[in-house]
Each structure stands twice: as structure tokens, then as C-alpha cells.
Structure 1
């Protein structure tokens, strides 16, 4: 009997690291952001702009639905609200494609797009789970010149949304 227990212990000890590496892990507030054109958090992650914690968590700008801030009301990412930080401005046309990247895919109520606080588009998510990336063509209206676009991903199965600001020069 002792020999069988020792063999079982050796096998168990050998399998433990394999199981630890292959079992699914929970996600820590990691969900989604606009990566094209590069949102402020994408620019932080890419090192385009020097940033704090958001550099490691561009997908984590989550807050209650209905906010209009780049940080989603999250104090850890307040620097995303700083319009003077040196964000790269993207030249875009009046109809622009925005691409979201998701690291945890929630059922989607809708996506909303705002130019300087004015809603220009709502895209129905059908309360479905999105694929790993989603692109939307958004008519930015009659505005020209430099503006800030706020993109909002409203989740269908929680009270939260994800927020991303993109600095644009509309031609």
C-alpha cells in the first residue's frame, strides 16, 4: 500500500503544475477597448504616451452606464481625462471605422459614439456576445477639425459600460 501511495503522490505532484497552467482563470476587470484608431488607453498600452496603470490594462476602463468621461469614472485611470496629455490625434473622414478589441466578451446592449459630448451614433448589440473584434462605421456628423470621440460599449448583462476616447482631426 505504501508503494501505491508514493506513486500516486509523485503522479499528483507532476500533474499539479500542468493543471495549474491549463485550467481557465478568472479575468480581472479585463474586457474591451477601441484599438483603431488608437484610443487613449491603446496609446498608453503601445507606449505612444507615458501613462500609469492603464498601460497594463487598456481593456479595463469600466464604469456605470451613462457616464461621459474617458476614464469611465475610474479614479485609477483619471489621466485618460487629461486633454493636455499629448494624445496622438488621428486624421479621419466624416465616416470613420472604429474597431473594438475584446478580452472578455459580454452580451452587448449597444455601442454609443459621441463627438464632444453630442451623440452621433447608437449601434444595437442585439444582447449578443460579440466576436473578439468588432468594427463600426460611424458618421461623425458635420464637425470638422480636432475633436474628441467617446466610444461606449454598454453591456447587456451588467449595469456597467466600457469607455474609450479617441482624439481625431475630422477632414
Structure 2
């Protein structure tokens, strides 16, 4: 009798875990070109990053940016308090990738778990951006400079998009990449610091 009860309890536990795990996106990913903050943390280039150093692919938050999604000041962490270190501007000292305004650039995602995709969007900060403060919507140009529609298709494990950076940018700026999942309410966020 005790074995039957134990088996029933274990079976109910497995069923419960299965029910809970289907509620969120099974896709995970991050940008590694230009190098994102989560990659700098995972590689140890930047220290004191907390849990993100082991989970660079897990910056998941509500989709619908900029109308919805992470609150201002929590955008780089996707609104996820576990990864708040990504929102810390570190006095403007995040390592930055050198880029050239008006030139083409390769944007690359590493997807550790692929998922049906609406699109990938790339936003750039305005000329008035202050890299010593947490990122807000007011810091970003209102429209993405690159949108790559996917129409619900599942992307490859490595995804590259070619895009032209806006002309006239100078100094330290930030690129926000957003991967919108098609069949859940979530998206993945990645912030890459760049220097024009």
C-alpha cells in the first residue's frame, strides 16, 4: 500500500511540473555580436554579475516593447530582477564594441532553445543617451532601425541579421535587441554597448 501511495505522489508531482513548465516560452537566446552584456558576464569579462553569468540565454520578459514589456530602468534585464546587474550602468564602464555609423553590421543570436518567432527588432539609443544611467524608453529612438520578420517560423540555433547602423551617431551608445516569441506572451532582450 505504501508503494502505491508513493508512486501516486511522484506521478502527481511529475504532472504538476509538466503543467507549470508549459506556461512559459521554451526558447532561450542571447546576442553575441555585437557582444551583449550577458555575454560579457558569462565570459567573466565583467565581474559581479550574479546569476546571469550562468544563464546568459535567460533574459526573458513580456513582449510588446516599447508599448509593453520591461519597465524603464529594467530593460536590459528584461524586467527580470534576478538579472538586475544587467541594468546597472556601472558608471558607463561596460565594455563596448567599436562600430561605424552608416555601415553594415552583423547581428548574431545564439539560441540555446529555438522557438516559433514573430520577429527580431533592433533599437539604438538617441544622441542624448547617457551611459551612466539605466536604460529607459526615452533613451531609445522610437522605431527599431532593423526589424526581421519571421512569421512564426522556428529559427536556426545561430541566427545572423545584416543591418545598416544609422548615420550621424557618435560616442558610446547602446543597441537593444528584442527576440519576439510567436506563441507566448514573452520576448528575449539583450543590450550591447557600442562605441561609434
Q: Which structure has the bigger radius of gyration?
A: 1
2:54 pairs, out of 42, 56, 61, with 56
1:70-100, Cα deviation, whole Å (9 max, x unpaired): 1100001111111226311110123211110
Aligned length: 145
Contact 1:121 1:138 in 2 (8 A): yes
Contact 1:30 1:60 in 2 (8 A): no
Larger strand share, 1 or 2: 1
1:105 pairs, out of 109, 114, 134, with 114
TM-score by length of 1: 0.79
Task: State the Cα RMSD in Å.
Answer: 1.9
TM-score by length of 2: 0.69
Q: CA deviation at 1:144?
A: 2.4
Residue ranges of structure 1 left out of the alignment (5+ in a row): 1-25
Residue ranges of structure 2 left out of the alignment (5+ in a row): 1-20, 126-139
Q: CA deviation at 1:145?
A: 2.0
Structure 1 stretches of at least 4 aligned residues deviating more than 6 Å after TM superposition? none
1:109-158, Cα deviation, whole Å (9 max, x unpaired): 00110101122111101210000100111222122221000000000111
